[in-house]
Amino acid sequence: MSKTTQAPKALRGVGNFIDDRFHLAKTGEKNLRKVFPNHWSFMLGEIALYSFIILLVSGVFLTLWFKPSMVEVIYDGSYERLQGVPMSEAYASTLFIDFEVRGGFLVRQIHHWAALIFVASLVVHMLRVFFTGAFRKPREINWLIGVAIFMLAMIEGLFGYSLPDDLPSGMGVRILQGVILAVPLVGTYISMFLFGGEFPGEDIITRLYMLHVLAIPALLLGLIVAHFMILWHQKHTQYPGPGRTDKTVVGTPMFPGFAVKAGGFFFFTFAVIAGLSAFVQINPIHLFGPFTPTSITSGLQPDWYMGFMEGALRIFPNWFDFSIFGYAVPMGVLVPGLGIMGVVFGGLALWPFIEQWITGDKRARNVADRPRNAPVRTGVGVAMITFYGLCWLAGSNDILSETFSINLYLTTYIFRVLVILGPIVAFMVTKRICLGLQRRDRDTLEHGYESGTIRQLPSGEFIEVHKESSEETTDVLASKPVITSTALADEVDDKGVENPAARKGKGRLRRALAHWYTKDNVSFEGVEPHSGHHLHHSKDVEKESAAH
């Protein structure tokens, strides 16, 4: 006879006391049994969350000793190479953390590595959402929140990188000031206000510190909480498979399965960050010395997520600079410094609504697309990655020039050509690959897969036997959506009269974009899934079947 295990009497009393007043038992049970789909790519967002937690904890540790002040002091700490060197209190306190505080250098390394992994996991997570169409209705608002988190994370990283006031970070602040000055009319006023006077001023570190430890983390925390609350309410998207539809979810319950997996994954993420921090040195500020406006060095780049802006600044020409009413408008700085950022983040924010407008598809989508089944979207995403990567690589044009003995100006001209042609070629190649994969999927769905078994027909011909795909593979292949657009369907009415709205400029633009978005797509309509063994040549198969 089995004995039922109950919670201790004291805990049952506390539980009953709370439930009698807040009625949380049913709600808690329902939420604990909430199902989460099983796929490794869904853990990318978890990495971002865990990295952010590590950032908060390590950041609190660092604030206990860091002094956000630009008051000049003479260093007399334990690092002998800089003894007697004048520097800001911010830089001196960072050296104190590195060499005087027990475990300080490790914690600062953990903080820096966690920041890099936080932004990297955000990027990969957003790419997963973009390529699978997980931003579609009803998740547009959560996508916008994700874009805002990404933008704030980059700004937060830039400000945190600038706080130690070492030579590389000071150069980064100088570039930031140059971009601010490029803003027409108000750029000089913004710069004077932010720096408290002429560059470098005495207030910039203090102001960046307040933004870095209070304002931006509070915004990030609020947006992350909102992001997860919406996710919890709307549920995850899921990949195609048996039993998975827009109304049913297949996966692991929150408790205990998913909770145990998520908890273990947090410690795994922390272990990776701690391992990198212990064995891979990053940003050794003691080797560069304090920042002074008259000093500069080569061979240094900012953190990877800001590298694309530096590359754009290096290669964008000044051919388009002009003056208006005596005010200079330096397009060579304004466009790569602010314009490209605006296009990137603006394009990310608007894409769900642009795609919905082109296709006219306003249905709720809970099953994710396979990237190959949305070739235009996938091509646009790869083109964007290519542009970003080329700009990032251009930020190292001085190192490339020295390493490969190429003229520095030649590398600049090469990158100017590549950032234009590269995304175009990437889009075309990606789209062709997606269409080729669609054709292969249709063939597999219709004829099965090649078994490797060779049979001889009565005619003497040797044929490879095709076998039926698994149920899961068949469901995945058959899940390909029909890509169409209401803009094309509404060109004419049932009497053949052209829709007046289609003749207007907006209608023509939408129809052209719809044609571009849907053309060349491989249709699966009328394809019946293959069942049973199949020999490729139907006439010979019929003869052999009749003989049997």
Give 154-177 pLDDT, tens digit per residue.
999 999 999 999 988 888 888 888
Q: Check whether 123 has a pLDDT greater than 50.
A: yes
The vertex-233 CA angle with 228 and 237, nearest 5°, equals 80
Looking at the DSSP bridge assignments, the partners of residue 380 are: none
Q: What is the reported pLDDT for 433?
A: 95
**Cis ω before 200 (30° cut-off from 0):** yes
DSSP letter for each residue of 367-427: BPPPGGGSHHHHHHHHHHHHHHHHHHHHTTHHHHHHHTT--HHHHHHHHHHHHHHHHHHHH
User: What is the distance between the alpha carbons of residues 167 and 174, in angstroms, rounded to a whole number?
Assistant: 11
Which of 48-52, 56-60, 311-315 is least confident?
Answer: 311-315
Give me the residue label for tokens 């039993």. 243
* pLDDT given at position 540: 45
When mean pLDDT is compared over 52-66, 193-207, 250-264, 438-452, the highest value belongs to 52-66
Cα-only R_g, the chain: 29
pLDDT, residue 2, reads 43
The confidence score (pLDDT) of residue 329 equals 84
The predicted-structure confidence for 181-194, as pLDDT tens digits, reads as follows: 888 888 889 989 88
- The alpha helices in 235-339, defined as continuous H runs, are 259-279, 304-315, 331-334
Q: In angstroms, rounded to a whole number, what is the distance separating the alpha carbons of residues 19 and 21? A: 5
Residues 308-331 have a mean pLDDT of: 87
Nearest alpha-carbon partner for 44 in 121, 120, 146: 121
Backbone angles phi, psi at 479, to 5 degrees: -80, 0
Question: What tokens were used for 245?
Answer: 């539809």
Torsion over CA of 146, 151, 153 and 157, rounded to 10 degrees?
A: 170
Q: d(Cα 508, Cα 532) in Å, to the nearest integer? A: 48
Pseudo-torsion of CA 526, 532, 536, 541, nearest 10°?
Answer: -110
Return the minimum-mean-pLDDT range out of 128-142, 258-272, 427-441, 457-471. 457-471
Q: Stretch 417-425: mean pLDDT, rounded? A: 96
Q: How far apart are CA 155 and CA 297, in angstroms?
A: 24
Confidence category of residue 420, pLDDT binned at 50, 70, 90: very high
Q: Which domains does the chain have, with CATH numbers?
A: 37-298 (1.20.810.10), 448-546 (no CATH)
Q: Which of 154-168, 435-449, 499-513 has the highest mean pLDDT?
A: 154-168
Q: Rounded distance, CA 277 to CA 170, Å?
A: 23
More reliable by pLDDT, 394 or 242: 394
Q: What is the pLDDT of residue 547?
A: 46
Distances (CA, A) of 494 to 394, 412, 500: 55, 57, 14
Q: Residue range 97-121: average pLDDT? A: 95
Which pLDDT score, from 0 to 100, does residue 548 have? 46
First to last CA, the chain: 60
Residue-wise pLDDT for 21-55, tens only, equals 676 666 666 666 677 778 788 888 899 999 999 99
> Looking at the DSSP assignment, which residues form a beta bridge with residue 238?
367
- Round the average pLDDT of the chain to a whole number and report it: 84
252-253 vs 35-36, strand pairing mode: antiparallel
Is the Cα torsion angle 374, 380, 381, 382 positive or negative in sign?
positive
Helix (H) / strand (E) containing 323: strand 322-324
CA nearest 95: which of 230, 344, 285, 229?
Answer: 285
Strand partners, 322: 329
| Residue 546: alpha-carbon gap to chain centroid | 58
In the numeric block, which tokens belong to residue 69? 């002040």
State yes or no: pLDDT of 1 exceeds 50: no
Q: Which residues are 450's β-sheet partners?
A: 466
Q: Is the pLDDT of residue 108 over 90?
A: yes
Q: What's the CA gap between 17 and 9, in Å, rounded?
A: 12
Residue 319 CB-density burial (10 A; 0-12 exposed, 13-18 middle, 19+ buried): exposed
Which of 296, 270, 281 has the alpha carbon at shortest distance from 117?
270
